[in-house]
Amino acid sequence: MLKEFRDFIARGNVVDLAVAVIIGAAFGKIITALVEGIIMPPIGLLLGKVDFANLFIDLSGTRPASLDAAKKAGAAVIAYGAFLNDVIAFLIIAVVVFLIVKSVNRLKKEEDAAPTTKDCPHCLTAIPLAATRCSGCCAELKTA
């Protein structure tokens, strides 16, 4: 059983998955810090310092002055403001991740090297660009 476990852990896809999870968690912390520390403050300033975190619906009928007072009193409340904050933060994080992925994909496309092969016009075999004869059908190729 120990050998089977060792073989399972040593498989490449399990290790790759573990690395992906660890890097994903670290990347998530970076994105969260970016959104909370850099992106949200200007948005809050533009919206007039609106903070949804204190919005709630009182179910107990005690009419607490704030969400903190309701929690301290143990009153039943629906704290929908915190949910709104989390939804807005999620949307901003999704946009930031989208923009980062889009930028990385654009860089990858620019880094793609020029093709090193061409297709033979007779048999469509991939051959080196400098070839003068096809290795698949032995046809002579015109040089450019």
Is-contact 42 34, C-beta < 8 A? no
Joined together, the tokens standing for residue 137 give 């059908």
Is 57 in a helix, a strand, or coil? Answer: strand
* Domain ranges for the chain: 1-49, 51-112, 114-144
Please name the residues in contact with 89: beta carbons below 8 A apart, sequence gap of 6 or more: 35, 36, 40
Fold of 1-49: 1.10.1200
Identify the bridge partners of residue 104 per DSSP, sorted by sequence position. none
* pLDDT on residue 120: 87
* pLDDT on residue 12: 66
* pLDDT on residue 107: 79
* pLDDT on residue 77: 87
* pLDDT on residue 32: 82
What averages of pLDDT result for each successive group of 10 residues across the chain (144 residues)? 80 77 88 81 76 81 85 87 83 84 80 77 86 84 70
Cα separation, 86 vs 52, whole angstroms: 10
Is 88 in a helix, a strand, or coil? Answer: helix
Alpha helices in the chain (DSSP H): 2-10, 12-34, 40-46, 67-73, 80-111
